[in-house]
Amino acid sequence: MLAAAKINLALHVTGLRPNGYHLLDSLVCFADVGDIVTVRPSDQLSLTLAGPRAKDLPQGSSNIVLKAARSFGPDFGAAIHLDKRLPVAAGIGGGSADAAAALRALAVLWDAPLPDINAQLALGADVPACVVSKTLRMTGIGEQITLVPNMPKFEAVLVNPGVAVSTQDVFKALPKTNNPPLEVLPAGRSQAEWLDWMKRQRNDLEVPALRIAPVMIDCLTALHDADGCELVSMSGSGATCFGIYASARQARAAAMQIMAYHPDWWIRPTRLG
């Protein structure tokens, strides 16, 4: 089961609840790269980890994949394996995507309904969106999901400089929490129309995130300077940035160009949608 990277094409912070939860209005899509979650029948619940990013995760009961499995109830067993490929604390929903993929896979394995929206939110605000794993508009604290079936696919490059960024720290540094919501979404499927729309939107977390991790300025610049770049922005609370390109060929060329100058960065050409 692919735990696809979640990309916030636009993210507006529109309010703050008394309990401290921020209200968001975000256009979310998913990449064709991600982690891989597999499940097998077993009498006991267990988790094994592999992959280039496995060392960055907790292996015990605090792992979000095991928390997701336990949300079905105490009487279920499965052998779960996570091949961790996405960087952590990266603004692309890695942990939430892993939890969501585990929920989907275990629901099939156990022939059980998915845990309800409150149980999903208890795992993380991005989990409901990652359970859907299709282009969508996410509002509220993440519980209000509206599919956006008419957005076209885009060729893109994801870049992460290897710096973990704390979502909590970024939200704390927000200068303003009552920003305007997204503009009305385009009605058609024209890439040009959608790109124009995206250029008028924001990621309200970008300014505080750049102060916390200024290396992201280098990421945005490298994406922008590559041939064929149409748009650059940051996903989530960072540190992953993305560029949208005019063609898959130009996206691959941009990725190779950036890799040549920054071999220590995590860089992936991908298709968004």
- Residues serving a catalytic function are 6, 126
Per this entry, what is the length of the chain?
Answer: 273
* Burial class for 247, CB neighbours closer than 10 Å (0-12, 13-18, 19+): exposed
With both helix axes pointing from N to C terminus, report the angle between 248-261 and 215-225 in degrees, rounded to the nearest 10: 140
How is residue 168 written in tokens?
A: 């909590």
| Residues 124, 51 contacting (CB under 8 angstroms) | no
Distance CA 56, CA 114 (A): 28
How is residue 101 written in tokens?
A: 């993929």
| Residues 137, 28 contacting (CB under 8 angstroms) | yes
Closest Cα to residue 33, out of 262, 263, 261, 251?
Answer: 251
DSSP state of 77: -
| Residues 195, 163 contacting (CB under 8 angstroms) | no
| Residues 3, 98 contacting (CB under 8 angstroms) | yes
CA dist list (Å): 251 to 190, 215, 222:
19, 21, 12
Distance CA 84, CA 35 (A): 5
Residue holding tokens 């605000």? 125
